[in-house]
Amino acid sequence: MASAVDAVGNPIPTSTVLTASAKNIGIRCMPENVEFLKCKKKDPNPEKCLDKGKEVTRCVLGLLKDLHQRCTKEMDEYVGCMYYHTNEFDLCRKEQEAFEKSCPFK
Amino acid sequence: MTEAAIRKKPGMASVKDMPILQDGPPPGGFPPVRYARRIPNKGPSAMAIFLAAFGAFSYGMYQVGQGNKMRRALKEEKYAARRAILPLLQAEEDERFVKEWKKYLEYEAEVMKDVPGWKVGESVYNSGRWMPPATGELRPDVW
């Protein structure tokens, strides 16, 4: 499996990486997500919500990079386990606990 | 040898006087045979059996409920993860769509530049809402 980071060291937002850090995203990027969804509910036109979408992308990608820098090994193991088991949470409990212990939610 | 040689009686005149050899009951007769029904009346009563069955059934249904609770928690975890990453995916798709849509609008303007009174990119619906494009394929490279 290709590594979770690209050449520069930023984590690639694949489905595996995203589901592995979904809990963190849900907690740390909640304001941006909620704003984007409210904008979408008001008007589904993509051109109207581009700026809020940029906020969401900036927050999530920054969070991924921060997580990867703080606990590289645990995150890599968790992402590897998720990749092997196709994003099945119940089969990766050990790696999930190690990851959450080393990178606790703020 | 012949029957007469085996069963002979001293002083026998002919075969017709041989002693009789018969299969019969032992002396004193056979012991009496029991043929009366004797179904015992002990064991669990009807109420006891019913309660045991009902107890096993309710225990099993309780375990089913507990298992459903656990499965629901697992499903909730999966859905919560999907809810968390949905805005990012939608934002990325919006960026890609806006780029493609601008290219398409330029193409439409070039094709229809000689048609009088044509508003490029005008919505074909009257409701005022934005609708996703319905003509052709949304993502020909994917499909």
Report CB contact under 8 Å: B82, A22: yes
For B60-75, the pLDDT digits (tens) are 999 999 999 999 999 9
Which whole-number Å values give the CA distances from A8 to A3, A5, A12, A63, B118, in the listed order? 12, 8, 10, 16, 48
For A47-86, the pLDDT digits (tens) are 999 999 999 999 999 999 999 989 889 999 999 999 999 9
Query: A99: closest CA among A88, A79, A91?
Result: A79
Indicate the length of chain B as a whole number: 143
Report CB contact under 8 Å: A25, B95: no
Whether pLDDT at B33 is above 60: yes
Q: How many Å apart are CA B29 and CA B66, to the nearest integer?
A: 70
Q: What percent of chain B has a predicted confidence (pLDDT) above 70?
A: 92
Whole-number pLDDT of residue A37: 94
Whole-number pLDDT of residue B139: 67
Tokens read off for B8: 């002979």
Which amino acid is located at B32 in the chain?
P
Whole-number pLDDT of residue A30: 94
Tokens read off for A36: 């984007």
Largest CA distance in chain B: 152
Residues 6+ apart with CB under 8 A from A63: A21, A24, A25, A28, A29
Whether pLDDT at B16 is above 80: no
Whether pLDDT at A91 is above 90: yes
**CA nearest to A44 within chain B:** B130
Q: What is the ipTM of this complex?
A: 0.90
Backbone torsions φ then ψ of B20, nearest 5 degrees = -80, 135
Q: What percent of chain B has a predicted confidence (pLDDT) above 90?
A: 47
A13 vs B86, B88, B97: nearest CB = B88
Residues A9/A60, Cβ–Cβ less than 8 Å: no
For B76-101, the pLDDT digits (tens) are 999 999 999 999 999 999 999 999 88
Whole-number pLDDT of residue A78: 92
Per-residue pLDDT averaged across B30-44, rounded? 92
Whole-number pLDDT of residue A22: 92
Whole-number pLDDT of residue A58: 94
Whole-number pLDDT of residue B82: 95
**Residues 20-49, chain A: which have Cβ within 8 Å of B?**
22-23, 25-26, 29, 32-33, 36-37, 40, 43-47, 49
Secondary structure of residue A11 in the 3-state scheme: strand
SS (H, E, C) chain B: CCHHHHHCCCCCCCHHHCCCCCCCCCCCCCCCCCCCCCCCCCCCCHHHHHHHHHHHHHHHHHHHHHHHHHHHHHHHHHHHHHHHHHHHHHHHHHHHHHHHHHHHHHHHHHHCCCCCCCCCCCCCCCCCCCCCCCCCCCCCCCC
